[in-house]
Structure 1
Amino acid sequence: MRRRVLIGLAVVVTIVAVVFGAAFAFQRKLIYLPSGGPLPNAADVLPSGRDVTLTTGDGLRLGAWYFPVEDARAAVLVAPGNAGNRSLRVPLAEALNGRGLSVLLLDYRGYGGNPGSPSEEGLALDARAARDFLVRQKPERLLYFGESLGTGVVTELATEHPPDGLVLRSPFTDLAAVGKRHYPFLPVSLLLRDRFPVSEYAQRLRVPVTVVYGAVDSIVPPELSRAVADAANGRAVAVPGADHNDPVLLDGPEVVGAVAKLAGG
């Protein structure tokens, strides 16, 4: 009987170890969901578009799209979420162009045909390369826009290079908080390699911050987004009836209006 119990325990321990090991080894496949290339030329997407190449601190050359506006009131660095590529963010760029704002659509390493594999450290380098490009354009004002996972990217960037304003769309307090909601059976905090501690960064910011989130978000619970707004002493804008990937949270009036307001109009 005792031998049978020990064998049973050994089987359970082995299964748990395999599950946890797989979760640790393949977690980035669950976090980062890139779409590849090739992509069209930026000018074929919007008439003002320019294809640009960003060179990161570790030597990668990343493709991006820049949509300038003459006499722009501000330039906006758009850091996307964890899925797709920059082509999905064109409606946002077009809407912001319409409000007199130049826009840089960044694709991280591993996204949109770019070389490399995504990681928290890598995305931080990608964002710095994007900021460096926009600074060279000498904009009147510089804003950061982060979408979901991108909120972790731009808040970290803002602690080192503060912008004139920051819009966070559907932010989370940290990646573990989201993971715990979707994988309650796993010790997410112990397993995560990439953490994106958005609230921790937000507490250190001294720039205007607006948080826009869906009131019925099923991916990032709304209370996490509100907590980020509180941490940043920022303004929170709830979009009634909106889920995480609804079009209204891509280029809807609340999102575009939040960016335009920080740009001064």
Structure 2
Amino acid sequence: MSIASAVLAGVIFLAGVAMFQDHLLYYPERASVEEMQVVSRGLAAWPTVSDFRGLLAEPDVPARATVIVFHGNAGHAGHRDYYAEALAPLGLRVLLAEYPAYGPRAGSLGETSLVADAERTISLARELYRGPLLIIGESLGAGVAAAVSARQRDAVAGVLLVTPWDKLENVARHHYPLLPVRSLLRDRYDSVTNLASFGRPVFVAVAERDRIIPAHFGQALEAALAPPKRLSIIAGADHNDWLLRVDDHWWRAAIDFLLAGEAGRSPG
């Protein structure tokens, strides 16, 4: 192969990476609302079936806060009913937000689309429910949560980030060290910058043996944050099994930390 041919092949390859990066970052699963409800064991469509934005679990007692969960890059919100199982018994209303182009929802993929849609979800939740609002983001959802919490700072009482990164660029460089990722990436998900002036409690949970988003990226994010903040390293956990390594005490401690500044407010 000539030098010119090699250069051309390289350019074509890089152009392909740039064009198809959505397929490297997002793995949406399409499903109807009814199928998602079956998978989630009967959670309610929110706010309605016709205007579907996620799945809702109400606690058995008056909710002391509302939690909006932004999930990881694969599947759909119906696969995340474990958040409802963990948090509803703590007296929390749990909303599993769905992204555009996931599940039954129309829309486009990408940071701009997902974060703008997350803003609308938060605004609607604030209209419908009283009391504190907490945001949880897992993996890709941690990037969405960081960005939307910065934009909706006055509406958000605290944020829990599970297996997060500091900047998507750093994770991309870790996995593709030979590529000029800074030039190729369209979506940035720069959580360090997004949360730089957030000023609300942030609980950062990293998986000690995470092979997808290595723990040091989440630790770097926590180190860059201003107080109040807390870091939890989930011992022995990989990216997708962290849930099996936390218990009710862990969940309660995380939520109590996030709500510490909200004591005395009436339930919604």
Q: TM-score range by the shorter chain?
A: 0.7 to 0.9
Match of 1:142 in 2: 133
Q: Name which of 170, 187, 191 aligns with 1:194.
A: 187
Q: Name which of 4, 8, 17 aligns with 2:2.
A: 8
Mapping of 1:164-179 within 5 angstroms?
Answer: 164-179=157-172
Q: Give the Cα–Cα distance (whole angstroms) in 2 for the partners of residues 105 and 250 of structure 1.
A: 21
Q: Give the Cα–Cα distance (whole angstroms) in 2 for the partners of residues 192 and 118 of structure 1.
A: 14
Q: Name which of 254, 258, 264 aligns with 1:262.
A: 258
Match of 2:76 in 1: 85
Post-superposition offset of 1:28: 0.6
- TM-score of the pair, normalised by structure 2: 0.87
Indicate yes or no: 2:176 matched with 1:180.
no
Contact 1:42–1:50 (Cα < 8 Å) also in 2: no
Post-superposition offset of 1:42: 7.2
Contact 1:42–1:66 (Cα < 8 Å) also in 2: no
Query: How many residue pairs are counted as aligned between the two chains?
Result: 253
What's the secondary structure of 2:34's corresponding residue? coil
Q: Which ranges of structure 2 fall in alignment gaps of 5 or more residues?
A: 264-268
Q: Give the Cα–Cα distance (whole angstroms) in 1 for the partners of residues 44 and 131 of structure 2.
A: 20
Match of 1:248 in 2: 243
Q: Give the Cα–Cα distance (whole angstroms) in 2 for the partners of residues 104 and 18 of structure 1.
A: 43
CA distances 1:57-97 after superposition (whole Å, capped 9, x unpaired): xxx95431111224111100101111110111101112100
What's the secondary structure of 1:10's corresponding residue? helix
Higher Rg of the two aligned structures: 1
Q: Name which of 17, 31, 40 aligns with 1:37.
A: 31
- TM-score of the pair, normalised by structure 1: 0.88
Q: Which ranges of structure 1 fall in alignment gaps of 5 or more residues?
A: 1-6, 55-59
Q: Name which of 123, 133, 141 aligns with 1:132.
A: 123
Q: Give the Cα–Cα distance (whole angstroms) in 2 for the partners of residues 52 and 14 of structure 1.
A: 50
Mapping of 1:41-56 within 5 angstroms?
Answer: 45-46=40-41, 49-53=43-47
Q: Give the Cα–Cα distance (whole angstroms) in 2 for the partners of residues 250 and 28 of structure 1.
A: 31
Contact 1:91–1:250 (Cα < 8 Å) also in 2: no
Contact 1:62–1:108 (Cα < 8 Å) also in 2: no
> Structure 1 residues 62 and 17 mapped into 2: Cα distance closer, same or farther (>3 Å)?
farther
Match of 2:146 in 1: 155
